[in-house]
Amino acid sequence: HKDENAPLDLLEPNEQVVAHMLAQGMTNEQIAQRLGFRDKRTISRTNGQIYTVWGLNTNAVDE
């Protein structure tokens, strides 16, 4: 039985991947490299989307 309010269930699949990597302590730069993005700002934007969905403060985003 899946919890409809589980934080990861609220995210898009790509956001879930990033959230898992963040939880493992990876930096935006490491995540970008792992996922094949040239620019870590792509991950920063995804983080912003995750934080918005979860209702978190985005001031802590690693640029």
Q: Which tens digit of pLDDT belongs to each residue from 27-59?
A: 999 999 999 999 999 999 999 999 999 998 766
Residue 32's pLDDT is 97
Return d(Cα 8, Cα 20) in angstroms, integer.
9
pTM: 0.77
Report whether 26 contacts 43 (CB < 8 A).
no
Please give the distance of CA 57 from its chain centroid, rounded to a whole number: 14
Domain boundaries, the chain: 7-57
DSSP label of 59: G
7-57 to CATH, choices 1.10.3470, 3.30.1490, 1.10.10, 3.40.50:
1.10.10
Residue 9's pLDDT is 92
Please give the distance of CA 27 from its chain centroid, rounded to a whole number: 11
